[in-house]
Amino acid sequence: MLGEGVEMSTGAYQPDFPTEMVKEGNVRIIIPRLKAFAKSPSDYAPSRAPVFYNPVMELNRDLAVLAVQTYQRTVAHEITICEALAGCGVMGVRFGAEIEGVKGVIMSDINERAAELSRENVRLNGLVEKVWVEHDDANFVLSAHNAPYRRFDVVNIDPFGSPVPYVDSAIRALRNNGLLALTATDMAPLCGVHPKACTRKYGGRPLRTEYCHELAVRLLIGSLATAAARHDMGIAVAFSHSSNHYVRSYARVQYGAKKADESVSNMGYVLHCYDCLHRETRKKAFADVDSGKCPECSSRLSFAGPLWLGEIVDGQFVGNMEEEASKHALRFGRKIAHMMALMRNESNAPVSYYSIDRLCSKLHLPVPPVKLVVDSLKNEGFTACLTHFDPNAVKSDVPAMRIRGLLQAMAGQNW
């Protein structure tokens, strides 16, 4: 039985670098033996290997299989998929092997050794009639499929870094109502460590706040909505999440200037007060956003954006993903079920969240159970729910001063 760490041996294929075979999902994959490329504990082995493979992203790939299968069942016809940055081919092979109703998958990679390894993984899993590998630049392959009747139903962009350089080509390579999946791993710019880089790449200003991972998702979706609008297309977000060192979003691209206008109307700003932690959203001009005072403590407000203020999760789509997940035996099945339940509940929740442990630390208070905070907020008539972004956080429309008062009142209670 094949499993992680099994030595690779497949006959004719002879790579010029150390490899091993792993089992992921329902497929067997030849990958670089990552331990051979990490010369020191600080080395990031996937980036040093001649072909990219990141084992930490298996959760991301599991969710991608579920999301694309859910989309396929929604459109109810055979679909074509483009995996534009193949690496070792694990995602494209899993799409071909694990998703019902797939007509064909095209993978590409500009790295010749990656293309060769991907082809071997396609052969290894008996998918040569369904999955094809091209040795070419991702934008070139996407652009070659931007004409009617050549476009894809699904395009997956999962780079090491920012997906922005591929977004325009990906949008044009999608059929009407096609699904675009984007991953961003450049969290330092998106979370405000390098704000100029974020503005340059994503067209919006980030903020270093406790809810920066949600802002990162909204900046990513906002850049997609802006890019789609340039082509008279709108977007409908199906599913988004933040996990480990990356953020990910799935959106359907919809043709038409009216759809584009509807999407652009969801763009705006998040205003934040670093003194009292007040936050609000605003869909107004930049000059107005940049000159505000906090309505709760009169301190100067900072802002993030422009970014996406619409829903980042479609509750029905996530519910369908939950049903799909129950049919698959995935390594991270229990974690996925927990994530899905949280996301379904927060699909209509307000923008941003309060990190209860950080807020209590700021106020020098003991930290109450997060679920107790949620119940207390609901009892007072506020919207409140847990969030997948942070296990110690609450999404709520409660004003900052009110939640501070609530936590102070709870400090003397016996939990």
Decide if 37 is inside a domain.
Answer: no
Same domain, 135 and 259: yes
Same domain, 148 and 297: yes
180 φ/ψ angles, rounded to the nearest 5 degrees? -115, 125
Same domain, 254 and 391: no
What's the pLDDT score for residue 37? 85
Decide if 187 is inside a domain.
Answer: yes
Q: pLDDT-based confidence at 289, cuts 50/70/90?
A: low
CA gap 251, 180 in Å, rounded: 5
Read off the tokens for 135. 């040795």
Same domain, 173 and 83: yes
**The total number of structural domains that make up the chain:** 2
| Domain boundary, last residue among 308, 337, 369 | 308
Q: pLDDT-based confidence at 290, cuts 50/70/90?
A: low
pLDDT of residue 3 exceeding 70, the answer is: no
Same domain, 195 and 274: yes
| Domain boundary, last residue among 272, 293, 308 | 308
What's the pLDDT score for residue 329? 83
What's the pLDDT score for residue 401? 96
Same domain, 223 and 284: yes
What's the pLDDT score for residue 8? 43
According to DSSP, the residues that pair with 29 across neighbouring strands are 22
Decide if 216 is inside a domain.
Answer: yes
Question: Which of the 8 DSSP states describes residue 35?
Answer: G
pLDDT of residue 139 exceeding 60, the answer is: yes
pLDDT tens, 66-79?
999 999 999 999 99
The chain-wide mean pLDDT, for the chain, equals 93
How large is the average pLDDT for residues 122-130? 97
Q: What is the CATH number of the domain that holds 211?
A: 3.40.50.150
Percentage of the chain lying above the pLDDT 70 cut: 95
pLDDT of residue 40 exceeding 80, the answer is: no
Same domain, 151 and 283: yes
Same domain, 197 and 294: yes
Of 16-20, 204-208, 217-221, minimum mean pLDDT range: 16-20
Q: What is the CATH number of the domain that holds 401?
A: 3.30.56.70
Same domain, 271 and 371: no
Q: Which residue, 338, 344, 379, 373, is CA-closest to 356?
A: 373
What's the pLDDT score for residue 286? 59
Decide if 278 is inside a domain.
Answer: yes
Residue 268 neighbours by CB under 8 Å, 6+ apart: 281, 282, 283, 284, 305, 306, 307, 309
pLDDT of residue 7 exceeding 50, the answer is: no
Q: pLDDT-based confidence at 9, cuts 50/70/90?
A: very low
| Domain boundary, last residue among 278, 308, 338 | 308
Cβ–Cβ under 8 Å, residues 304 and 215: yes
CA distances from 395 to 125, 179, 238, 279 (A): 44, 28, 19, 12
Read off the tokens for 227. 């890019």
Q: Which residue, 21, 264, 241, is CA-closest to 125?
A: 21
Decide if 410 is inside a domain.
Answer: yes
What's the pLDDT score for residue 5? 38
CA gap 398, 95 in Å, rounded: 42
Decide if 35 is inside a domain.
Answer: no
pLDDT of residue 6 exceeding 50, the answer is: no
Decide if 29 is inside a domain.
Answer: no
Same domain, 301 and 358: no
Q: Which residue, 343, 342, 347, 314, is CA-closest to 74?
A: 314
Using the structure block, give the residue that is written with the tokens 């991270």.
332
Same domain, 302 and 377: no
Same domain, 285 and 363: no
Of 45-49, 146-150, 193-197, minimum mean pLDDT range: 45-49
Range of the domain at 409: 354-415
Q: pLDDT-based confidence at 183, cuts 50/70/90?
A: very high
Q: Which residue, 342, 313, 336, 311, is CA-closest to 324?
A: 336
Decide if 6 is inside a domain.
Answer: no
**Cis ω for the linkage preceding 148 (within 30 of 0):** no
Among the residues of 144-231, which ranges form H helices? 164-172, 187-190, 195-202, 212-230
What's the pLDDT score for residue 200? 97
